[in-house]
Amino acid sequence: MTVGGKIAMRTRTHFPLGSAERPLRVAIVGSGPSGFYAADALFKQKGVHLRIDMFERMAMPYGLVRYGVAPDHQSIKRVIRSYERTARDPRFRFFGNVQVGRDLPVEQLRQHFDQVVYAFGCGSDRRLGIPGEDLPGSHTATAFVAWYNGHPDHRHDRFDLSGSRVAVVGVGNVAMDVTRILVKDPEDLASTDIAHYALDTLRQSRIKEVLVLGRRGPVQAKFTPKEILEIGSLPDVDVMVRKRDLELDEHSLDEMRAKRPARRNLQYMMERARLGSQGGSRRVLLQFLASPVEILATDGRVSAVRVERNRLVADEQGWIRSVGTGVSEVVPVDLVFRSVGYRGVPLPGIPFDERKGVVPSAQGRVLSRRGETNGTGEYVVGWIKRGPTGLIGTNKGDSAETVRSMMEDIRGREAGPISADADRSVSRLLLDRGIRPIRFSDWDIIDREEQERGRRRGKLREKITDPAEVATLLDVRRRRAAVG
């Protein structure tokens, strides 16, 4: 077209989202496995140009891999290496020490990013809802786990291990972790990355017996065979099961036939029931069809738990649940660990399903209260999407599903150019709010320092648990770098 004899140049103001001219800007909230698997899946999308900013409430990355996986399960923690590779991609930025919803409202994330992925997991615990649950000496298993893993929020927790008998409520893998740490020889933890204060406490422990209570039967136990076998293989530790707890009703028999892990668990428990006590100095007593209905105190501290005997009933869908028989006994215990599952915590500004404790979603797309995709480019992955189930690897497929939805949603969409300043604007926004984020290069400094501190103590790593110490360490290094 000519205007006044000159050719009018049509400047294009919109480009395909994800093109070189208009890269897709993605925020990921949470730096645990599901967040990193989402980032990895996004980077693997062919022909899609994108940048990822990951926000993490804690100063350090890796969420439950750092603060949840047991210190004697270092092989599981090795997945961090692949997350590290993702974090070093030039298209990736890490912002630790930033709590979305408090330091950075979700509205601002929506303004700055084309798509936001919530990967913040389940920050709380399910409750038993029984009298005495909050007595001194009754703890959540997750607090104990976070404490021995050097989680800054739990470094001041205290666990009195001076008694001889502990009850662990629940028969999932967290219950197995807690049980194992309680009965294991602490010297076998000494060279790991366990927090030094936890190791000291475990060295003083007088616990001789861990009573593990499963409300349903042995077939419905959620622990994986590997975990129970690991406890059974600990030197000087007996795993004991009552024979009567292993008698199966017809529904459990059907369930067992259909589930290989349940068969292996049962086989193992039958073997242990047959063997009985082997004279170990510490023992784990697995009890099934047993629900705590009250935690009792003496002088204001846990001294016993009232345990009700259950029976199993199956509903029309075949789901087997436990029902109390009204028959109960009082079992003296010195400590209770409630290990009945995690629970999601709502994030201000995004929908939340109170009943399920998750963000409602379909194929990873966040749904509005009316059950519609809310159209704001918001997604979920991991536990806050599907609930607190599955192993670390389960998150890979889960995150891939969400990323497929994200890619479908940008197909054919165009957007205006990003301002040259866009990358800096997030950092500036945080600075304006007085937040000093921890970047991945900062984490490298902390990582090296923790490993060095570990070496000095003859262990893999000594985690820095005091946030003030992290800030001081980074200040010193930054000052030195500025001078140098």
Question: Which of 17, 52, 174, 410 touches ligand NAP (CB under 6 A)?
Answer: 174
Question: Which of 164, 173, 191, 451 touches ligand NAP (CB under 6 A)?
Answer: 173
The answer to whether 386 contacts ligand NAP (rule: CB under 6 A) is: no
The answer to whether 262 contacts ligand NAP (rule: CB under 6 A) is: no
Task: Please identify, among the stretches 173-181, 182-190, 238-246, 423-431, the one whose residues bind ligand NAP according to the rule CB under 6 A.
Answer: 173-181
Residue 37 Cβ vs ligand NAP, minimum distance, rounded to whole Å? 16
The answer to whether 341 contacts ligand NAP (rule: CB under 6 A) is: yes
Q: How many residues bind ligand NAP (CB under 6 A)?
A: 25
Residue 172 Cβ vs ligand NAP, minimum distance, rounded to whole Å? 2
Closer by beta carbon to ligand NAP, 339 or else 399: 339
The answer to whether 215 contacts ligand NAP (rule: CB under 6 A) is: yes
Closer by beta carbon to ligand NAP, 31 or else 310: 310
Draw the binding track, 17-56, toward ligand NAP (x: CB under 6 A; -: no contact).
Answer: ----------------------------------------
Spatial separation of the C-alpha atoms in residues 184 and 328, rounded to whole Å: 30
Distance, CA of 351 to chain centre = 21
Residues from 272 through 331 that contact ligand NAP (CB under 6 A) = 291
The answer to whether 390 contacts ligand NAP (rule: CB under 6 A) is: yes
Residues from 408 through 447 that contact ligand NAP (CB under 6 A) = none
Residue whose Cβ sits closest to ligand NAP: 172
Residue 79 Cβ vs ligand NAP, minimum distance, rounded to whole Å? 12
Question: Which of 118, 144, 159, 342 touches ligand NAP (CB under 6 A)?
Answer: 342
Interaction site with ligand NAP (CB under 6 A): 126, 128, 169-175, 177, 214-216, 220, 222, 227, 291, 339-342, 388-391
